[in-house]
């Protein structure tokens, strides 16, 4: 028997299949260390997770936290419902799962772990807007026939408890302390970068703050700790509800990390997501994420089903 905490080596055919599957992900990797070479063998965690499915012939399950809700800033987004940015991103993820079947017959599916409710109070987005966004994702998946995707959110947890009670329960059970997060920031550059990125987003997204700029920055720094705590708690909750999965992330990740960073759409900033921006369609057929205020200077607004969808440049 192998020592506890280690995996039994898999057959060469399994290893080749796992490498082929990871090679499908690598071109879309969102890297925290883009200048460091990243061959397949640099991702033992993901290879092991994939092998746990391949060795027994089961469909692979990817779990992706993200798609929380739209930013509350009208300078960034077109509204509080999913738009062309989400449609393109979900289609890309579905196509990625479909591509797995070309190298591994059982294929793959992906659980979109929509995390808006877990920190809705911290980012100042009302729960009914988060409900509408998550419902919009599920409707988009059905309408576009994205059969490899499904949505999981806080409504699937703890029955009929109010959202505040659910958040408090998950935080108390799973979240690290603020002291733990601060200590990690001192020793880990990636955590520090995450904290700074979240603080920047909170500062940009805060609408109607009555106070000085310095007071706003203090408030956002404090809330950033809470967002990291809740994000970690949500990650632990996903592990409990989806214990057998390959963990992806919309945040940049180093090679060898426990999660694999995945890029959804092109953007100048590695932190930009469809829920913090609008999407621009260029004449060459390419799509790019950017702030709404920038996008509307470049092109005309396009409606889909009577609602703002994206911008198109001439």
* Alpha-carbon span 250 to 260, nearest angstrom: 8
Cα distances (Å, whole numbers) of residue 233 to 122, 177, 215 = 14, 11, 27
* Alpha-carbon span 151 to 138, nearest angstrom: 6
Query: Percent of the chain at pLDDT above 90?
Result: 84
Q: pTM surpassing 0.75?
A: yes
Asked if residue 226 lies in contact with residue 169, where contact means CB atoms within 8 angstroms, the answer is no
Residue with more model confidence, 148 or 207 = 148
Residue matched to tokens 């408030």: 219
Which of these, 97, 152, 136, 182, lies nearest to 275 by C-alpha position? Answer: 136
Q: Is the pLDDT of residue 285 over 50?
A: yes
- Give mean pLDDT, residues 186-197: 90
Residue with more model confidence, 35 or 19 = 19
Residue 75 has a pLDDT of 94
* Alpha-carbon span 66 to 183, nearest angstrom: 25
β-bridge partners, 96 = none
Beta strands in 119-244 (DSSP E): 149-152
Beta pairing class for 260-261 and 246-249: parallel
Asked if residue 130 lies in contact with residue 115, where contact means CB atoms within 8 angstroms, the answer is no
Residue 2 has a pLDDT of 41
């Amino acid at each position: 028997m192998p020592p506890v905490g280690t995996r039994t080596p898999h057959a060469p055919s399994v290893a080749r299949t796992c490498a082929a599957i990871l090679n499908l992900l690598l071109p879309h990797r969102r890297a925290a260390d883009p200048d460091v070479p990243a061959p397949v063998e640099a991702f033992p965690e993901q290879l092991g997770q994939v092998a746990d499915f391949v060795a027994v012939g089961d469909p692979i399950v990817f779990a992706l936290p993200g798609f929380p809700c739209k930013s509350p800033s009208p300078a960034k987004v077109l509204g509080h419902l999913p738009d062309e940015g989400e449609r393109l991103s979900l289609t890309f993820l579905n196509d990625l799962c479909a591509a797995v079947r070309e190298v591994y017959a059982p294929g793959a599916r992906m659980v979109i772990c929509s995390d808006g409710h877990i920190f809705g109070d911290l980012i100042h987005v009302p729960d009914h807007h988060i409900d509408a966004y998550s419902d919009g994702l599920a409707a988009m998946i059905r309408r576009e026939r994205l059969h490899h995707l499904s949505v999981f959110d806080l409504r699937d947890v703890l029955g009929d408890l109010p959202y505040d009670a659910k958040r408090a329960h998950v935080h108390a059970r799973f979240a690290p302390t603020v002291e733990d997060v601060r200590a990690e920031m001192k020793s880990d550059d990636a955590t520090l970068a995450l904290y700074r990125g979240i603080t920047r987003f909170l500062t940009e997204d805060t609408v109607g703050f009555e106070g000085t700029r310095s007071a706003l920055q203090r408030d956002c720094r404090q809330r950033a700790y809470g967002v990291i705590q809740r994000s970690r708690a949500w990650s632990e909750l996903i592990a409990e509800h989806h214990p057998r999965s390959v963990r992806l992330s919309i945040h940049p990740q180093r090679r060898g990390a426990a999660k694999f960073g995945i890029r959804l759409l092109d953007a100048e900033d590695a932190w930009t997501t469809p829920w913090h921006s609008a999407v621009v369609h260029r004449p060459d057929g390419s799509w790019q994420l950017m702030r709404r205020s920038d996008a509307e200077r470049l092109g005309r607004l396009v409606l889909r089903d009577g609602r703002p969808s994206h911008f198109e440049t001439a």
